[in-house]
Structure 1
């Protein structure tokens, strides 16, 4: 039987052949060996037969275990696979149906990752479009309306008697604060500074809004990134800083953007409580989806000195 024919032998056929081989060997020993069985069987003969049976069972178990070992690897891979964390594919070992099963599994994971990437790209594109629309409406409609209210309050306050002027000035200040907050929200929804001034300026503006001291480090002459990749870097930094403010209980943050040969590395660290064994939430999984869109490498874990570290490496 050549190698091509061996690959076509079914799983049932191989197990049957293994068992047949063991039974033929046992029958040959009984026929041609010196051992005999009396009636009734003597104790020594029973012991010899028991020992032979034990050897047969052990040999059979070892052979089947070796033959089915690739299925164990496949089962472990199926229970641990995560489409947001691409890894190496299973090596096709074994013959026949097992090899075909592993090959089919690898092809299925390739298709699922491609389909997930396509679906994620469409969803994130729609999300960014919706963010731009909402930001535009906040800026153009709500912002302009509040600006008109602010001017009206000022005009009325200037013409009002002193006893009501103070209240009008307070209402004017509240309206001004609300307008500033709406503008801040609009900037987070649609980072205009990213399109106008570039990634480094956008990250500096982002860190200025979080309310924590941030140690910043940005390399000069970073490799050029396309607009989609820059947006991914910005959104990962934004989500990481948001998680730090909401969950980390940190009082210091480090943010750096460095050149690594033809790649760019974003590093975000805090000195908070860290993520420990907590499962990844929607924010981190969203970062992973964005990283996959541009073929970037993302790692989220504990920082060397405690706290949380987010590292994103993108191609320039």
Structure 2
């Protein structure tokens, strides 16, 4: 029965019962007596309560669907509303679930294209920084050294200072190029790339320690890149925003060897009630591309921030080592 039919039938039943009572045992005098007024008011109240209860039961699936619509988030796939019964509400629920599936698939496809283009642009910029600007600065260093060997002592000191500044700029450009294009990931694998990240972010103010469990299941290149980028973004957030002094990075197998888990935890101030920024949303989009699960929240005891990424090997085409 349609929603319109159910509501009409509920109200019709209430009205028929009321008319039957008036034509049967209930009578009304003119002027109305106190007892008759009490009976009528009591009957009206009972009919209103019955009508409200029946409508509440009949419209409960619509309320559940409304809550599901209000809380739907494409970056956080959740359980779909259960389709119960038949009629318009069941059809609407099924249509909503189909729409969510389509939107998530379209978002994953578009995000994959965007991230692929982003990685390609990162590689291009890194190559130009290394090949063009890096070679130019190297030539400048050689020219400064050549000039410093042939000038008087007062000018030589200034040229040596210019050499150090140029060398520091060259090192910074190379560091930026390594962040843009993780060559160590392609050449030496995920283990070495994560250890290199930990060393790169370790400073006098921030200590980063990498703990990697031996014998991790093998993952595909896309999954390894997602793990690397999530670890990189987590360390960047810890260094820039958390005020942490220590960060722990763990790579460990999932229970049963089903995949690889990444855990990045710090002892900083935590994210609290702050809204998620572009960095965390980018991590969620990357996780969705490979069907991984990303959890971002407070660390043990409610202190700091803890980022967990679980990548299942069978979703990435990996095989156990």
1:268 counterpart residue number = 264
Partner of 1:206: 197
Match of 1:220 among 191, 207, 214: 214
Q: What is the aligned partner in structure 2 of residue 4 from structure 1?
A: none
Partner residue in 2 for 1:26: 18
* Cα shift at 1:70: 1.1
Count residues in correspondence: 307
Please name the residue that 2:57 is paired with. Answer: 66
Q: Does the Cα contact within 8 Å between 2:270 and 2:298 map onto a contact in 1?
A: yes
Partner of residue 44, structure 1: 35
How many Å separate the matches in 2 of 1:25 and 1:110? 46
- Distance, in Å, in 1 between the alignment partners of 2:187 and 2:35 is 94
Q: Does 1:283 align with 2:274?
A: no
SS of 1:254 mapped into structure 2 = strand
Residues 84-122 of structure 1, C-alpha deviation per residue, up to 9 Å, x if partnerless? 000110001243111111111111111110110011000
Name 2:172's counterpart in structure 1.
181
Asked if the contact 1:67/1:94 (under 8 Å) is kept, the reply is: no
Tell me the SS of whatever aligns to 2:210: strand
> Where do 5+ consecutive residues of structure 2 fail to align?
314-321
Partner of 1:307: 304
Return the match for 2:141 from 150, 156, 160: 150
Name the structure 2 match of 1:196.
187
In the other structure, the counterpart of 2:120 is 129
Partner Cα separation in structure 2 for residue 300 and residue 241 of structure 1: 13
3-state secondary structure, aligned to 2:149: helix
Matched, 1:239 2:230: no
Equivalent residue, structure 1, for 2:243: 249
1:159 correspondence with 2:159: no
Output the CA distance in 1 between the equivalents of 2:151 and 2:167: 19
Give the structure-2-normalised TM-score: 0.94
Deviations 1:121-170 (A, max 9, x none): 00000000000000000000000000000111111111111110000000
Residue 10 of structure 1 and its aligned partner are, at CA, apart by 1.9
TM-score using structure 1 length: 0.96
Unpaired stretches in structure 1, ≥5 consecutive residues: 1-8
Give yes or no for contact 2:194–2:210 (8 Å, CA) kept in 1. no
